[in-house]
Amino acid sequence: MTPDMQLAFELLFLGMISVFLILGLVVLTARLLIFAVNRWSSPSLRSGSSADRFIPSRTETISPEILAVLTASVEVATQGKGRLLQVETVKS
């Protein structure tokens, strides 16, 4: 193997290792940030029980069955982490 090829492979492996380490640090930092935010966020930001997943908005025009379907859809789609804050009918 020529010295140029050996230098090329050394630089290749050094670059790959440095990218792996930097991306590992990014992932670790992101997980720590998510953990810290979830742990110390205010209770008002956390989702409550299923009963208070939505704030009724003009509920006289939207039937309770539709609200129940929408709430269940959001709960299934977000695996229980989402909240339905406002429901409005769109006039076409």
Q: What pLDDT, in 10s, does the model give residues 30-84?
A: 999 999 988 887 665 555 554 555 555 554 577 888 888 888 998 889 888 888 8
pLDDT tops 90 at residue 8: yes
CA–CA gap between residue 10 and residue 12 (Å, rounded): 5
Expressed as residue numbers, the domain containing 67 is: 47-92
Residues 61 and 92 both lie in one domain? yes
Residues 61 and 80 both lie in one domain? yes
Q: Structural domain tally of the chain?
A: 2
Instruction: Specify the higher pLDDT residue, 24 or 76.
Output: 24
Record the pTM: 0.45
Residues 3 and 16 both lie in one domain? yes
Residues 6 and 21 both lie in one domain? yes
Residues 38 and 58 both lie in one domain? no
Of residues 16, 83, 6, 9, the one with CA closest to residue 51: 83
Residues 16 and 56 both lie in one domain? no
Q: Where are the alpha helices (DSSP H) in the chain?
A: 3-40, 64-77
pLDDT tops 80 at residue 1: yes
Residues 28 and 54 both lie in one domain? no
